[in-house]
DNA sequence: TTGAAAGCGCTACCAT
DNA sequence: ATGGTAGCGCTTTCAA
């Protein structure tokens, strides 16, 4: 029962005119008389005509397709970013090809191959944690495919990016602790090699410096090994040498909650905590967690908009956007 | 500097053979001599040949593309389902076109148009909450596009589905409450018109009946109006007429937490609670929430697999899968 | 085993 | 304003 798809030539034959005229009417391009146009459009509708994207793509060499590379979607941050992206791309008639890297470089490389094969017009990417090499991303650029980074910066490559102002976000968080008369603030660092980790650490340090407080390396904790982190944190807390904590993420902040509770400390009385990202859990844990909102929806939307601009005009210079964060004060301080 | 893309004819010319032979070698189809094949493959690689998906799609009328319709991605459940889908589609060389409905029928209809226009080979869909009409989905089926529903069933349409066994999940949850000697269990219902709402309610009722407990309509609460829900729940709790609660979702369970705390009740001593979905928050709230895990990753993966089978052979009969859920016991009972 | 050629649906160019 | 037609890159007969 498969009714054959109706093509431009079908319409042309029906109307005894040429395909070019039909094409012109359908695309509202070039000269064409109004009555003709109307006649064609009406028939097209009646016959249920749908343009064949392949034929179009073949001849125009544009795919109206954007590749999206994301580490994973289970963090609310990325889901929300996706919604921001989708809100602008769908409006512009672009489609997304989504690939997840699961933070593995191998999958990231495969994703880039997919993008190349699919001839996407542009790529939006949040690179994975451990990228020693960026050849696969360089290849995207070399193939004249527009590229915009999100959330995580990639300094080796010349491409636009939209990231959070991690430095300011961290600075303000720590500043808020200091203003509230907390004297010794620890920091739990993020994963190695990420620009975000570096920038939040810097914000922490600078904030201390500005308040004439010393930056002590014993108060800066690595988080790569969760067990070790908890041990180190426990020691710090037992020695009562800190009264507050700024964590790279809400999840790491929650780890601190657990350690604190384990040794009988109260939050925020004994330990004030501020996290980062404003994941949903920060509202649900108790006490609710003060944190830094990164505006993921806006991040996605802006990145998509920049990409579309670059696709439209490849001469568009790179843009480097740092989104202001928002300090969300709840009950953990 | 845009180096022109290399095509099959480029390779053919270079080797002074015909394009058809090159095509055969590249696709490993039909008769071709081994040395020839090797020669062609080597050169193709050297020249950086990439098949043009448009030309291929145009001639084969297959897009290797799947449309994915999802209400939204900020619930962990859907993100995880997406990861399950992606794990099988990417392996099979299919690409996903993602559209979100935001639970709005209008956007859902638009998404279906997108799928039709893009000539996707198949569609994976979780329909939105308020669908009075299903014409847009019917049109997908009429256009000979394979369709598989996930999570939410759509009885009006003849299509495969992969859903949770909501009935059993609810039944077991309530059974667990009863076994632990809770006598009066309330239920907070989900959104109207959803198959999941109906099935979980039925599981609740049947579980009570099986234990010879009466089903009391006053203990079944609507959730459409959050304020009203909290008021009603508060009344029930003040009257001390219930000792336990089974909620349609983890978020509704959390609402119950808040009401309980507000009037000074302890969980689970004064009120035992079981939620549904095993969203991340259920581990993070305190006390941690007992809930029903729906295996979203498996749901996505299975739905994708069924869809691929149907795409490969359109005569494949519809499949109706009910995934067994898993009761996750934590501290709220 | 290989080649020649038609044709998928569309646009763009040139002609009228 | 409209028509004719080549050609995008590929697969798929059919013929050799």
Q: Distance in angstroms, CA of B58 to C1' of D13?
A: 17
Q: Using CA atoms, how far apart are residues A185 and A245, in angstroms rounded to an integer?
A: 5
A117 chain-B contacts, CB cut-off 8 A: 50-51, 53
Q: Distance in angstroms, CA of B282 to C1' of C5?
A: 65
Q: Using CA atoms, how far apart are residues A4 and B74, in angstroms rounded to an integer?
A: 40
pLDDT of A2 > 50? The answer is no
pLDDT digits (tens, 9 = 90+) for A94-123: 989 899 999 999 999 999 999 998 889 999
Residues (pLDDT < 70) of chain B are 1-4, 30
Pairing of strands A326-328, A291-293: antiparallel
Q: Distance in angstroms, CA of B80 to C1' of C12?
A: 46
* Average pLDDT score, chain A: 93
* Model confidence band, residue A314 (pLDDT cutoffs 50, 70, 90): confident
The chain B residue lying nearest A90, using CA atoms, is B99
Q: How does A209-227 read in b/e, with b if 16+ C-beta sit within 10 Å?
A: eeeebeeeeebebebeeee
Q: Which residue has the tokens 């042309």?
A: A12
pLDDT of A235 > 90? The answer is yes
Q: Distance in angstroms, CA of B17 to C1' of C13?
A: 31
Residue A61: the pLDDT is 85
Closest CA to B164 of B108, B220, B203: B203
Residue A258: the pLDDT is 96
Domains and their CATH numbers in chain B? 8-51 (1.10.260), 64-164+296-325 (3.40.50.2300), 166-293 (3.40.50.2300)
* Residues 208-237 (B) with a CB less than 8 A from some CB of A: none
The string of DSSP codes covering B227-286 is HHHHHHHHHHHHTT--SEEEESSHHHHHHHHHHHHHTT--TTTT-EEE-SB--THHHHSS
Residue A4: the pLDDT is 67
The string of DSSP codes covering A167-219 is HHHHHHHHHHHHHTT---EEEE---TT-HHHHHHHHHHHHHHHHTT----GGG
Residue A138: the pLDDT is 95
User: The tokens of A255 are what?
Assistant: 């780890």
Q: Does B4 touch chain A (CB under 8 A)?
A: no
User: Best-predicted range by mean pLDDT among A13-17, A323-327, B139-143?
Assistant: A323-327
pLDDT digits (tens, 9 = 90+) for A194-227: 999 999 999 999 999 999 999 999 999 999 999 9
3-state secondary structure of B290: strand
Alpha-carbon distances of A163 from A56, A124, A175, A322, B233, rounded to whole Å = 35, 12, 21, 5, 43
User: Which position has the higher pLDDT, A332 or A29?
Assistant: A332
Do A306 and A319 meet the contact criterion of CB atoms below 8 Å apart? yes
CB A26 under 7 Å to nucleic chain C: yes
Give the global pTM. 0.90
Q: Does A24 touch chain B (CB under 8 A)?
A: no
Q: Using CA atoms, how far apart are residues B88 and B199, in angstroms rounded to an integer?
A: 28
Do B97 and B115 meet the contact criterion of CB atoms below 8 Å apart? yes
Query: Cβ of B269: how many Cβ atoms within 10 Å?
Result: 8
The interaxial angle of helices A195-210 and A166-179, nearest 10 deg, is 30
Q: Using CA atoms, how far apart are residues B224 and B266, in angstroms rounded to an integer?
A: 26
Q: Which nucleotide is nearest to A7 (CA to C1')?
A: C9
The interaxial angle of helices B250-262 and B226-238, nearest 10 deg, is 50
Q: Identify how many contiguous H helices and E strands chain A contains and give both numbers.
A: 13, 12
pLDDT of A187 > 70? The answer is yes
Nearest to A285 among B51, B97, B285 (CB): B285
HEC readout, A154-176:
CCCCCCEEEEECHHHHHHHHHHH
Question: What are residue A327's DSSP bridge partners?
Answer: A292
Residue B1: the pLDDT is 32
Residue A147: the pLDDT is 96
Residue A321: the pLDDT is 97
Closest CA to A278 of A209, A323, A326, A245: A326
* Residues 80-99 (B) with a CB less than 8 A from some CB of A: 80, 82-83, 86, 90, 95-99
pLDDT of A1 > 50? The answer is no
Residue B32: the pLDDT is 84
Query: Cβ of B178: how many Cβ atoms within 10 Å?
Result: 18
pLDDT digits (tens, 9 = 90+) for A153-163: 888 999 999 99
């Amino acid at each position: 029962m498969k009714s054959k798809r109706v093509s431009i030539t079908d319409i042309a034959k029906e109307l005894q005119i040429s395909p070019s005229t039909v094409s012109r009417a359908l695309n509202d391009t070039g000269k064409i008389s109004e009555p003709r146009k109307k006649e064609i459009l009406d028939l097209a509708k009646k016959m249920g005509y749908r343009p064949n994207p392949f034929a179009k793509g073949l001849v125009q060499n544009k795919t109206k397709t954007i590749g999206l590379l994301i580490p994973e979607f289970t963090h609310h941050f990325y889901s929300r970013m996706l919604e921001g992206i989708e809100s602008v791309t769908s409006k512009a008639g672009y489609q997304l090809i989504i690939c997840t890297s699961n933070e593995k470089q191998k999958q990231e490389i495969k994703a880039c191959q997919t993008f190349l094969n699919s001839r996407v017009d542009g790529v939006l990417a949040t690179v994975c944690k451990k990228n020693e090499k960026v050849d696969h991303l360089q290849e995207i650029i070399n193939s004249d495919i527009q590229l915009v980074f999100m959330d995580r910066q990639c300094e080796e490559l010349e491409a636009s990016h939209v990231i959070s102002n991690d430095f300011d976000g961290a600075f303000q968080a720590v500043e808020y602790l200091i203003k509230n008369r907390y004297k010794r603030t620890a920091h739990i660092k993020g994963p190695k090699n990420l620009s975000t980790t570096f920038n939040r650490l810097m914000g922490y340090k600078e904030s201390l410096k500005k308040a004439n407080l010393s930056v002590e390396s014993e108060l800066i904790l690595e988080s790569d090994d969760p067990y070790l982190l908890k041990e180190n944190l426990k020691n710090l807390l037992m020695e009562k040498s800190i009264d507050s904590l700024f964590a790279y993420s809400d999840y790491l902040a929650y780890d601190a909650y657990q350690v604190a509770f384990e040794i009988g400390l109260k939050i925020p009385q004994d330990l004030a905590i501020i996290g980062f990202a404003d994941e949903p859990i920060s509202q649900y844990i108790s006490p609710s967690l003060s944190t830094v909102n990164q505006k993921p929806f806006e991040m996605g939307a802006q990145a998509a908009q920049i990409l579309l601009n670059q696709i439209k005009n490849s001469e568009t210079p790179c843009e480097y956007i740092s989104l202001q964060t928002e300090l969300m004060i709840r009950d953990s301080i």
